[in-house]
Amino acid sequence: MSKFAENKEFNSKQIVTMLQNKVKPATGKLGIMVVGNGAVATTFMAGVISARKGLSKPIGAMTQYDKIRVGRGKEAKHLHYSEIVPMAKLDDIVFGTWDVYPQNAFESAVNADVLRAKDLLPIKEELEKIKPLKAAFDHDYAKRLDGKNVMKNKTRWEMVEALKKDIRKFKKANNCERVVVAWAASTEIYVPVNMEVHDTVEHLEAAMKANDTKNIAPSMCYAYAALTEGCPFIMGAPNTTVDIPAMWELADQTKMPIAGKDFKTGQTLVKSGFAPIISTRCLGLSGWFSTNILGNRDGLVLDEPDNFRTKEVSKLSTLESILVADNQPDLYGDYYHKVRINYYPPRNDNKEGWDNIDIFGWMGYPMQIKINFLCRDSILAAPLLLDLCLLSDLAVRAGRYGIQRFLSFFLKSPMHDYTKNETPVNHLFQQYTMLKNAIREMGGYEADEEID
């Protein structure tokens, strides 16, 4: 393995397997089963269907637009991902979903009010065929939701068994070669890591079978079911779900990739890209205040303090690994970082993020930076979901399993082995280097960019 490749991603056995088998082709249909049929999921599904009918373009998707340099000097070429590694095509994708509300994808997309009628009506027939399965749901984990399309009176282990059956039936009914499961549902209440339950697969299974509703979130049932059915799992919310040693162990046992957590869309995307400007220029930081207004279902759920706590932990982690006090105590030894999210129904999916950044420079003189990002949350999340699904599918075919650190580029709070004091990479441009190196390596090229 090249010395430039990302650290801690593979072991030697995995490398040998990859080199021997190379990357398996992306043959047949790829099933994408999305947990949640709300604004993000329906915008994602509608965009893919629209693009493959030639009605729109998948703008924002790295897998569809980005080009990576492979080779050096006269041998250098800039290629799309699909020219380097075998990628599933948009035409190969089949969609399934679970949701607490029974509306089909067309009805849900209309209710979400993200996409215009002129974009939804031409694909109405396709969207209407996507009907949500009953969700594994616990009202205590999302008290602002009250949908009735849920599994009733089931223990956590019974939820797992039902979800596994759903995956098998979906795969067979749609003649899928492979399935990826991705969470695009609401943020659950914060579940602290409990090493008496979350440390090993054995303990996790015992807690599920004992119906330990305090330590086993519904999202963990989805992840467990996906991995044991041979499906990669992607956590698109800041839930604890796969960010526990037991899930890492399960991913190793099943040889499945896991990725998470929380789609990096608006404010954190800006933060992970702008903070490097401050650190590279060796400017000091006094404080960074971030606030958002959001009115969709995600905003409603996050208006509950216990659910916001989960999101807050995710959003606060970004700066601390970019502007590191121990590395530059004069510059980052004592800054104040605050994050707020405010539910504001009139704004619906059109989120607005304000950042007030107090910095200081030569001789300690203060300066300010203000960023106002008026973004569309689901429009930014949809291409991330496509990229994560296609790249997770690629990872399976390349023999990669466990935490996929090369997917950190797409995620707000990248997974890492905190039991070994590993520091996550939140620096956007370092994350991009990790992504490019992984694609190069899976394509048989040298992973030739070094992360300082």
Instruction: Report how far residue 90's alpha carbon sits from residue 22's, in angstroms, rounded to the nearest whole number.
Output: 23
| pLDDT in the model for residue 321 | 87
Mean pLDDT along residues 263-280? 93
pLDDT range class, residue 10, cuts 50, 70, 90: very low
Instruction: Report how far residue 8's alpha carbon sits from residue 312's, in angstroms, rounded to the nearest whole number.
Output: 27
Per residue in 164-184, pLDDT (tens digit) is 999 999 999 999 999 999 999
| Domains observed in the chain | 12-263+378-442 (3.40.50.720), 267-374 (3.30.360.10)
State residue 368 phi and psi, 5-degree precision: -130, 145
Instruction: Report how far residue 322's alpha carbon sits from residue 281's, in angstroms, rounded to the nearest whole number.
Output: 13
Residue 306: count of CB within 10 angstroms of its CB? 14
Q: Is the pLDDT of residue 159 over 60?
A: yes
Q: Is the pLDDT of residue 229 over 50?
A: yes
For 58, 59, 341, 445, the CA distances from 66, given in Å and listed in that order, are: 12, 10, 32, 17
Q: Is the pLDDT of residue 60 over 50?
A: yes
Instruction: Report how far residue 130's alpha carbon sits from residue 306's, in angstroms, rounded to the nearest whole number.
Output: 32
CA torsion 203-207-213-219 (nearest 10°) is: 60
| pLDDT in the model for residue 8 | 43
29 prior amide bond cis, ω within 30: no
Q: Are 415 and 245 in contact (CB under 8 A)?
A: no
Share of the chain above pLDDT 70, in %: 91
Residue 166: count of CB within 10 angstroms of its CB? 21
Q: Is the pLDDT of residue 11 over 50?
A: no
Instruction: Report how far residue 277's alpha carbon sits from residue 359's, in angstroms, rounded to the nearest whole number.
Output: 12
For 23, 60, 80, the CA distances from 53, given in Å and listed in that order, are: 29, 18, 21
Instruction: Report how far residue 323's alpha carbon sits from residue 274's, in angstroms, rounded to the nearest whole number.
Output: 11
State residue 189 phi and psi, 5-degree precision: -65, 160
| pLDDT in the model for residue 185 | 95
Q: Is the pTM higher than 0.85?
A: yes
Q: Is the pLDDT of residue 21 over 60?
A: no
Per residue in 341-399, pLDDT (tens digit) is 888 888 878 888 999 999 999 999 999 999 999 989 999 999 999 999 999 999 999 99
Q: Are 48 and 90 in contact (CB under 8 A)?
A: yes
* Tokens read off for 365: 């003189």
Mean pLDDT along residues 212-241? 97
Q: Are 95 and 45 in contact (CB under 8 A)?
A: yes
Q: Is the pLDDT of residue 443 over 50?
A: yes
Instruction: Report how far residue 349's alpha carbon sits from residue 228's, in angstroms, rounded to the nearest whole number.
Output: 34
Per residue in 82-121, pLDDT (tens digit) is 999 999 999 999 999 999 999 999 999 999 999 999 999 9
Q: Please write down the HEC assignment for all residues of 191-239.
A: CCCCCCCCCCHHHHHHHHHCCCCCCCCHHHHHHHHHHHCCCCEEECCCC
Q: Is the pLDDT of residue 250 over 90?
A: yes
